[in-house]
Amino acid sequence: MDKLLDVENVSISFIQYTQGLNQRDLKVITDLTLDISEGEILAVLGSSGSGKSLLAHAIFGILPENANLNGKISYKGKELSQEDKEEIRGKDIVLVPQSVNFLDPLMKISDQAIGHTDSDEERKAKKAKQREIFEHYNLGPEVDEMYPFQLSGGMARRVLVSTALLSNPKLVVADEPTPGLDEKTVQETLNHFKHMKEDGIGVLLITHDIHAALEVADRIGIFYSGYVIEIALKEDFTGDGENLLHPYTKALYKALPANGFNLTKGHQPLHGEIPNGCPYYDRCEMRFDRCKDERPELLDLGNKKVRCFKYEEGA
Amino acid sequence: MLKNEKLLKFLGKKIVRFIILLIFVILLSFILIDMSPINPVKTYIANLGVVSPEKIAILESYWGVNEPITTKMFNWLANIIHLDFGTSLIYRAPVLDVIKQKFVASLVLMLSSWIFSGVIGFLLGVVAGFKKDTIIDKAIKVYCYILQSAPTFWIALLFLMVFSVYLGWFPTGLGVPVGTLSENVSFWDWLQRLILPMITLSVVGIASITLFTRDKLIDVMNSDYFLFAKARGESGWNLIVRHGIRNVLLPAITLQFLGFSELFGGAVLVEQIFTYPGIGQAAVSAGLRSDVPLLLGIVIFSAIFVYCGNLIADVLYNFVDPRIREGEEDGG
């Protein structure tokens, strides 16, 4: 299977005023590396407010103006410039946003899904396509004429998913698609992603919902204090978690109610207070001395990746 | 069905509020006039030379100067019900006729500048917001800040000096040329005298609507739905038209209607400086020359005018926005 998206060492920082006119560079994402292939679902799992959504915005080139993006984002092997992103967004790569707030409150659903058209024929063709996909997702003709505020939670979710599929995308980036939904709707939404996978579409699922991630994803990237600390296979999240590599991932797995409910002391370092060494140093059970001041790189272990000195050769 | 019912209920509430407002305006006007040194008799006799105290007493009783304020007010209200606003002392004509004539002149001035400033202001605001932080945006902003902080009468004087006195493009004032019979006044004569006050009033009104539109558009451009539209591949001017203007237009129009009161205030000053024979000028002369019936009439009609502006703004806000129009029953 071909690689679709490659995100290498991406960092995103904001210029922030601290006191008076003193500026500082606030890093929200320090080092993020991941890749997605065709027909694969990769989940990026991180706590709420950790800046995961910025990854999606970076891929689409819609970061706020004061954000500073470094690192490489490539699509099908070609590094994307801002212009490239503007060119392919909404075509090859599409976004499934968080909530109905991402729809224009004053525009009818159908008009939004179709987008801007240059001619009447184009409009008709797109309209037919839109109707077909909406029908597929169980959205009747009356939905076309509705305004976003009239949609129920489940309908809104289906509208956002079907809007994304209108352009026959190769890659779908879903930003927190499940919070605030009832059990049935979550299940339904996750099934949509499974179907996309079956159609050969790559899905990047950005979420804080570990159950959702475990249910649909092939691989799971763990996001901690602005770093990807591990990219694990779904199968690793079984048993005692003995196949998981990073101590944080292990702790996270053991914290689940079904696996012992063990809490690790401490909290994730906030943006701006991340230590020089390993971001997990303070809480780690198997830390070395070097972890305090030296920051581990992401090690490539075949189909997995981990950011920990323990797995370095000869360690 | 439901929608009409809602609208009727809404309008009913508004009418009740309007009546309450009118009662307070009338009360306040009467109290203020009673406390002020305005004395119609003194004004009247000022032109007559020496007048004996007996004659003054007769005049005072004729106009009811010494009657208690309540009696004055009830007499006046009783006449109003028959649409009799009394007779203007300075124009020697029924107040209603004077107001009608002056109001038409003012309405032309106010509405033309209102539309002009609304359209130009909105466009400038959209351009400034779209080109945020560029030199165009900065130029528009500086222009707005200067105008926003400059008093209307000062701008009017400046325009008068530059365009009428130095350049001589427009006459310095009056609605029609002096010494011309009304039937000989051409449309051009009239238009020529309208342009400068209208431009002054527009230029002053542009600032607030432009700054508002710019801010609102920038808000929209930072909104989630704008971001998502971008992510769906919409871009550039199309994006602004489809998602920006759609979401900014309604609040901007609402603001422009709410600006009726400022427009009226501005018109009074501008008319005074350009000696344009409108309602504003009539109000000032009525005040200065103790024409109490005319003054009261103008107060009432101005209140109606401003209230109508606010009412339209309210209706627009409550019944045009689909979220409110097709949404919950209770619109407040």
Q: Is the pLDDT of residue B269 over 70?
A: yes
Asked if B323 lies within 8 A of A105 by C-beta distance, the reply is yes
Strand ranges (DSSP E) for A114-226?
171-175, 202-207, 219-224
Contacts with B, A 16-55, CB within 8 Å: none
Question: How confident is the model over A198-226, as pLDDT tens digits?
Answer: 999 999 999 988 888 888 999 999 988 88
Query: In chain B, what residues touch A90 (CB-CB under 8 Å)?
Result: 231-234
- Give the model's pLDDT for residue B282: 86
Q: Answer whether residue A139 is part of any domain.
A: yes
- In three-state secondary structure terms, A78 is strand
- Give the model's pLDDT for residue B328: 47
Amino acid B56 reads I
pLDDT: which is higher, B136 or B188: B136
Q: Is the pLDDT of residue B89 over 90?
A: no
Distance CA(B207)–CA(B215), nearest Å, equals 12
- Give the model's pLDDT for residue B47: 66
Q: Is the pLDDT of residue A267 over 50?
A: yes
User: How would residue A313 be classed by pLDDT, with cut points 50, 70 and 90?
Assistant: low
Q: Is the pLDDT of residue B323 over 90?
A: no
Asked if B323 lies within 8 A of A147 by C-beta distance, the reply is yes
* CA-to-CA separations, A193 to A43, A96, A272, B110, B139, in angstroms, rounded: 11, 11, 35, 59, 49
Q: Answer whether residue A120 is part of any domain.
A: yes
- Residue A228 has φ and ψ, to the nearest 5°, of -90, 115
- Give the model's pLDDT for residue B2: 62
Query: In chain B, what residues touch A103 (CB-CB under 8 Å)?
Result: 225, 228
Question: How confident is the model over A58-67, as pLDDT tens digits?
Answer: 999 988 888 8
Distance CA(B288)–CA(B298), nearest Å, equals 14
Q: Answer whether residue A145 is part of any domain.
A: yes
- Give the model's pLDDT for residue A221: 92
Distance CA(A305)–CA(B194), nearest Å, equals 77
Q: To the nearest whole angstrom, how far is the Cα of B222 from the nearest Cα of chain A?
A: 8
Q: Which candidate from B230, B321, B327 shows the least CB-CB separation from A62?
A: B230
Q: Answer whether residue A83 is part of any domain.
A: no
- Give the model's pLDDT for residue B332: 34
Asked if A104 lies within 8 A of B225 by C-beta distance, the reply is yes
pLDDT more than 70, % of chain A: 98
- Give the model's pLDDT for residue A249: 87
Q: Answer whether residue A219 is part of any domain.
A: no
Q: Which candidate from B225, B234, B326 shows the least CB-CB separation from A116?
A: B234
Q: Assess A59–B contact: CB distance below 8 Å, yes or no.
A: no
Q: Is the pLDDT of residue B170 over 90?
A: no
Asked if B225 lies within 8 A of A167 by C-beta distance, the reply is no
ipTM of the complex: 0.86
Determine which of A104-118, B172-186, B213-227 has the lowest per-residue pLDDT on average. B172-186
User: How would residue B330 be classed by pLDDT, with cut points 50, 70 and 90?
Assistant: very low
- Give the model's pLDDT for residue A315: 47
Q: To the nearest whole angstrom, how far is the Cα of B239 from the nearest Cα of chain A?
A: 8
Q: How many domains does chain A have?
A: 1
Asked if B322 lies within 8 A of A147 by C-beta distance, the reply is yes
Query: In chain B, what residues touch A80 (CB-CB under 8 Å)?
Result: none
Chain B residues near any Cβ of chain A (below 8 Å): 222, 224-235, 238-239, 242-243, 246-247, 250, 321-323, 326-327
Q: pTM here?
A: 0.80
Please report the number of interchain residue pairs, chain A to chain B, with beta-carbon separation below 8 angstroms.
71
Asked if B322 lies within 8 A of A57 by C-beta distance, the reply is no
User: How would residue B185 be classed by pLDDT, with cut points 50, 70 and 90?
Assistant: low
Query: In chain A, what residues touch B227 (CB-CB under 8 Å)?
Result: 57, 62, 102
Distance CA(A97)–CA(A141), nearest Å, equals 23
Structural domain harbouring A147:
100-166
Residues B310-330 as b or e (16 or more Cβ within 10 Å = b): bbbbbbbbeeebbeeeeeeee
Q: Assess A90–B contact: CB distance below 8 Å, yes or no.
A: yes
Query: In chain A, what residues touch B323 (CB-CB under 8 Å)?
Result: 105-106, 147, 149
Q: Answer whether residue A288 is part of any domain.
A: no
Strand ranges (DSSP E) for A213-283?
219-224, 227-233
Q: Which candidate from B233, B238, B323 shows the least CB-CB separation from A89?
A: B233
User: How would residue B213 be classed by pLDDT, with cut points 50, 70 and 90?
Assistant: very high
Query: In chain B, what residues touch A89 (CB-CB under 8 Å)?
Result: 230-233
Asked if A62 lies within 8 A of B231 by C-beta distance, the reply is yes
In this structure, how many other beta carbons lie within 10 angstroms of the beta carbon of residue A73? Answer: 20
CA B267 to chain centroid: 7
Question: How confident is the model over B6-56, as pLDDT tens digits?
Answer: 778 888 888 899 889 988 888 888 888 878 777 767 767 766 667 777 777
The residues, any chain, with a CB within 8 Å of residue A216's CB and separated by 6 or more, are: A41, A43, A190, A193, A194, A197, A203, A205
Q: Answer whether residue A282 is part of any domain.
A: no
Asked if B224 lies within 8 A of A101 by C-beta distance, the reply is yes
Which residues share a beta bridge with A202? A171
Alpha carbon dihedral B62, B67, B71, B74, in 10-degree steps, equals 40
Question: How confident is the model over A174-183, as pLDDT tens digits?
Answer: 988 887 778 8
- In three-state secondary structure terms, B13 is helix
- Residue A130 has φ and ψ, to the nearest 5°, of -60, -45
Are the CB atoms for B217 and B244 separated by under 8 Å? yes
Residues A221-257 as b or e (16 or more Cβ within 10 Å = b): bbbbbbbbbbbbebebbeeebeebbbbbbbbbbbeee
* Tokens coding B119: 């359209």
* Tokens coding B321: 């926005």
Q: Answer whether residue A148 is part of any domain.
A: yes
- Give the model's pLDDT for residue B53: 78
Q: Which one of A88, A106, A126, A175 makes the best mutation probe of the B interface by having the most chain B beta carbons within 10 Å? A: A106
* CA-to-CA separations, A59 to A27, A53, A232, in angstroms, rounded: 17, 10, 22
Q: Assess A150–B contact: CB distance below 8 Å, yes or no.
A: yes
Asked if A62 lies within 8 A of B321 by C-beta distance, the reply is no
- Residue A234 has φ and ψ, to the nearest 5°, of -60, -40
Please state the rounded mean pLDDT for residues A260-284.
Answer: 78
* CA-to-CA separations, B31 to A308, B25, B69, B75, B241, in angstroms, rounded: 84, 10, 8, 15, 52
Question: How confident is the model over B196-211, as pLDDT tens digits?
Answer: 888 888 888 888 899 9
* Tokens coding B325: 């129009």
